Amino acid sequence: MIIHIVRHAEAIERTPEVPEEHRYLTRRGRRRFRKAAKSLATLGIEPDLVLTSPLVRAVQTADILAEKLRYKRELIVAPQLSPGFRPEKLDELLKLYPQVTEVALVGHEPDLGLVTQALLGEESSLTLPKGGTVSFKRSASGSGEPLFLQLVTGTGRIVTSKTKALERLRQGG
C-alpha cells in the first residue's frame, strides 16, 4: 500500500471571530498548494482513495489535490483525521478500506508529524510543512519497515533523499 500524508495548506490565522473548524485556506495557501499538487501529479500519484479531516482547511486542500490529480471519485471525510489523530489509529483507519492500494490522508499538525515519525521509526519530532506531503510504501498488513518514497514541500519541491527529507522535517518543513 502507498500512503501519502498531506498536511493542509496555509490557512487564515486563528481569531476569536472564526471558529477553529471554520478556518479556511489563504489565497497564498491555495496558490502554493496547487504547485505542490502539480508536483504530486508529475510523480504519477494516483490514489484509489482520498480521506480528509472534516475541518474546512483540510477539505479545501483535499479538493485541490483531487483536481490536480484528476481524481474521479468523491472525497471521503474521515472524522478520525480531525485534530488529535494519533499514529496508533492509522492501521485502524486503513482497515476500513481493505481494497485500497494507494491512499492520500489530508490532516493536521502535530498529528501528521507524529504519524510520519512513527512510520520512519524516528526518535526526534518531525513536522510536515504546510501543504507538504510525505509518501511511503508499506505492506497492506502494516508489518515490516515502511519504505520512504518522497517528500513534496508545500511549494512543490520534490525531495527523494530520505536523509534530506528528514533534515527538512526536523526543521519543520
The pairing of strands 102-107 and 2-7 is: parallel
Q: What is the pLDDT of residues 131-171, one digit of tens each?
A: 999 999 998 666 778 999 999 999 999 999 999 999 999 98
Question: Phi and psi dihedrals of 107, rounded to 5?
Answer: -155, -145
173 pLDDT band, cuts 50/70/90, is low
12: containing domain? 2-170
Q: Is pLDDT above 70 for 31?
A: yes
Q: What angle do CA 140, 173, 165 make, to 5 degrees?
A: 55
Number of domains in the chain: 1
Phi, psi dihedral angles at 49 (to 5 degrees): -150, 135
Identity of residue 79: P
Convert the pLDDT of each residue in 51-109 to its tens digit.
Answer: 999 999 999 999 999 999 999 999 999 999 999 999 999 999 999 999 999 999 999 99
Query: For residue 55, what is the domain's CATH number?
Result: 3.40.50.1240
State pTM to two decimals: 0.96
Please provide the average confidence, as pLDDT, over all residues in the chain: 95
